[in-house]
Amino acid sequence: LVTVAGLSLADETDFSDEACFQAALKGETSVSDLIINADGSTQIRIGAPLWQHGQRGLKIMGAVITSMDGEILSQIVEALQVSENSTAYIIDRQGNVIAHKDRKLVTSRTNAIKDAQTDQSLAELAELEQKMLEGEAGFGEYEYEGQNRLLAYAPIPHTNGWCLAVTAPKADFMEQTLYGIYTTIGLVALTMVLGTVAAVLMANRIARPVNACAKRLALVAEGDL
């Protein structure tokens, strides 16, 4: 519980500068940016207004702020699987990765938009993530490390500009199509081989007696009656 001055009633910790507290004073419920602690652990804070008599719309008497382990975000996205090799992740309003199955990308605050300034291979991904930061929802394609990948993205409501993205190799979705194409090619090739064999057998059945007759006539012409 936090007073309108931003001080915790428990130990007088000052939350006045935190965005989730300031949003609570405006009557909004919000989620903070990801907090990375010195030991590498992560946290997020959720703030909500404390209304007089518990009735929304009356005077705001303070705020309720709760802290959660930021690991829960990565656990959620890790469970999102749209194909065998797909990956889901969340970025904040600055473009920093705040949830990913690879936790190192979270603790190192990986940012494709910033990294693309020195690494051209990230240019296509950075362009898509820039659209994410602008609050758009959509779909795109990019190339990374020689692999064509698909990316679907959408903003996460009631957060501080967070956006969810799901990416997967294009090959994951083309597998069944390619299987069908290869199967068709194989059947066509097999049909051609069988047709050729059948044609050769038929030709031999016709050619043998013709050749025998021709040889016999040649012997007759030589006087062998």
Q: So what's the pLDDT on residue 165?
A: 92
pLDDT above 70 for 177 = no
| Torsion over CA: 86, 67, 20, 55 (sign) | positive
Cα distances (angstroms) measured from residue 96 to each of 44, 92, 169, 179: 14, 6, 22, 38
- Comparing CA positions, the residue from 94, 103, 114, 112 lying closest to residue 40 is 103
CA distance 83 to 174: 11
User: What mean pLDDT comes out for the span 74-81?
Assistant: 87
pLDDT above 70 for 26 = yes
Q: So what's the pLDDT on residue 175?
A: 66
| Mean of pLDDT over the chain | 84
pLDDT above 80 for 48 = yes
Band of the pLDDT at 178, cuts 50, 70, 90?
Answer: low
Band of the pLDDT at 112, cuts 50, 70, 90?
Answer: very high
pLDDT above 90 for 180 = no
In this structure, what DSSP letter does residue 124 have? H
In this structure, what DSSP letter does residue 147 have? E
Lowest mean pLDDT among 63-72, 149-158, 183-192: 183-192
Q: So what's the pLDDT on residue 203?
A: 67
Band of the pLDDT at 179, cuts 50, 70, 90?
Answer: low
Higher pLDDT pick, 142 / 209: 142
User: What mean pLDDT comes out for the span 177-198?
Assistant: 71
CA distance 63 to 45: 12
Q: So what's the pLDDT on residue 83?
A: 80
Tell me the whole-structure pTM to 2 decimals: 0.68
Higher pLDDT pick, 212 / 10: 10
Q: So what's the pLDDT on residue 125?
A: 92
Higher pLDDT pick, 13 / 225: 13
pLDDT digits (tens, 9 = 90+) for 193-220: 776 777 767 767 777 777 777 777 777 7
